[in-house]
């Protein structure tokens, strides 16, 4: 009897072969932005407000609400100002919005949001096709944009896209990806989200890149943004967990398809994670 009682309580992590689960991870919910921007159906602002409140009620404390991108480019997110004005302010919830440029930052500032996210690609061709700007051109824009956001009191997060592969170039040089990630941190981002934009990462590739990233950047400044295009998002994520990464992007319902893989699932689903 005594022996049984002195036996340590089994933790749920004992059930896993791959990872010793930490007590806490941070989830960064991208469904309202990364998810809804690829929906063809028009979701009205009221629908987004209800979704955001449901996400908050579910316990998500970091929520990316929208992108202040040109409404011509992504009409689904044209209501960013109105959405933020209608969202409840909760002290335990951090809202964020993507700002692709200075115009977007101006719009974000007028809403009183406390955090913004900036974008950079690790693949030259992806950068040019997606934004019409080279990596170097985008970096020089960010050299102004990130400090400008910081001066306004905003926290800045960064997405580094296509780090595990590009639909045009194929493999992406991991050392270049790590150098760019480090540059984003040096410029004042508190976190860089290494993004498997098209969902081609494998567990071995995640381990290799995260290992190199950890040589230059503290684990607490790295997030993983994984796509489930080939059903590997959770497996890849477990590798990150195992290596000490504690922040993961996820999208409710797995919303957010990959435009280069029609029919394939998009972001890792928050509820699965």
Q: Indicate which residues carry an active-site annotation.
A: 258
Nearer to Mg ion, 111 or 197 (CB): 197
**Binding segment toward Mg ion, per CB under 5 A, in 28-36, 111-119, 165-173, 199-207:** 28-36
* Contacts for 119 with CB less than 8 Å, ≥ 6 apart: 98, 100, 131, 138, 158, 159, 161
d(CA 92, CA 55): 12
> What is the Cα–Cα distance from 71 to 132, expressed in whole angstroms?
17
Q: Please list the residues that pair with 63 across neighbouring strands.
A: 29, 95
In this chain, which stretch among 79-87, 105-113, 124-132, 253-261 interacts with Mg ion, using CB under 5 A? 253-261
End-to-end C-alpha distance for the chain, whole angstroms: 38
The window from 65-73, 152-160, 236-244, 249-257 that contacts Mg ion (CB under 5 A) reads: 249-257
Which lies closer to Mg ion via its Cβ, residue 188 or residue 240?
240
Q: Does 193 bind Mg ion (CB under 5 A)?
A: no
Contact pattern from residue 89 through residue 128 relative to Mg ion, giving x for each residue in contact according to CB under 5 A and a dash for the rest: ----------------------------------------
Quote the CA–CA distance of 226 and 27 in Å, as a whole number. 12
Task: Mention every residue, 6+ apart, whose C-beta is less than 8 A from residue 179.
Answer: none
Q: CB of residue 267 vs Mg ion: minimum separation in angstroms? A: 4
Does residue 196 bind Mg ion (CB under 5 A)? Answer: no
User: CA 40 to CA 245: how far, in whole Å?
Assistant: 33
Site residue total, Mg ion (CB under 5 A): 3
The residue among 267 and 270 lying less far from Mg ion, judged by its C-beta, is: 267
Instruction: Give the nearer residue to Mg ion in terms of CB position, either 37 or 111.
Output: 37
Which of these ranges, 27-35, 51-59, 93-101, 163-171, lies near Mg ion under the rule CB under 5 A? Answer: 27-35
C-alpha 63/C-alpha 27 separation (Å) is 9
Does 34 contact Mg ion by CB under 5 A?
yes
Q: H helices then E strands: how many in the chain?
A: 9, 8
Is residue 267 involved in binding Mg ion (CB under 5 A)? yes
Cβ atoms of residues 27 and 273 within 8 Å: yes
Using CB under 5 A as the criterion, which residues of the chain lie in contact with Mg ion when the complex forms?
A: 34, 256, 267
């Amino acid at each position: 009897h005594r022996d049984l009682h002195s036996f340590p309580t089994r933790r749920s992590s004992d059930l896993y072969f791959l990872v010793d689960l930490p007590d806490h991870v941070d989830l960064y919910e991208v469904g309202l932005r990364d998810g809804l921007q690829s929906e063809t159906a028009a979701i009205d602002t009221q629908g987004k407000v209800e979704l955001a409140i449901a996400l908050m009620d579910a316990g998500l404390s970091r929520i990316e609400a929208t992108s202040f991108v040109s409404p011509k480019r992504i009409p689904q997110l044209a209501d960013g100002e109105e959405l933020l004005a209608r969202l409840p302010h909760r002290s335990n919830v951090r809202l964020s919005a993507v700002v692709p440029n200075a115009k977007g930052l101006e719009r974000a500032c007028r809403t009183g949001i406390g955090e913004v996210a900036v974008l950079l690609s690790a693949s030259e061709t992806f950068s040019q096709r997606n934004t019409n700007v080279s990596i170097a051109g985008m970096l020089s824009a960010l050299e102004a944009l990130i400090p400008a956001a910081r001066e306004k009191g905003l926290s800045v997060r960064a997405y580094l896209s296509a780090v595990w592969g590009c639909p045009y170039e194929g493999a992406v040089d991991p050392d270049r990806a790590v150098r760019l990630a480090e540059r984003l941190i040096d410029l004042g981002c508190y976190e860089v989200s290494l993004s498997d934009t098209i969902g081609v990462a494998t567990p071995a590739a995640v381990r290799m890149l995260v290992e190199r990233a950890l040589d230059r950047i503290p684990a607490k400044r790295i997030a993983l943004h994984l796509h489930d295009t080939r059903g590997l998002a959770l497996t890849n994520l477990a590798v990150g967990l195992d290596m000490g990464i504690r922040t993961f992007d996820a999208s409710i319902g797995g919303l957010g398809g990959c435009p280069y893989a029609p029919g394939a699932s998009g972001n890792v689903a928050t509820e699965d994670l």
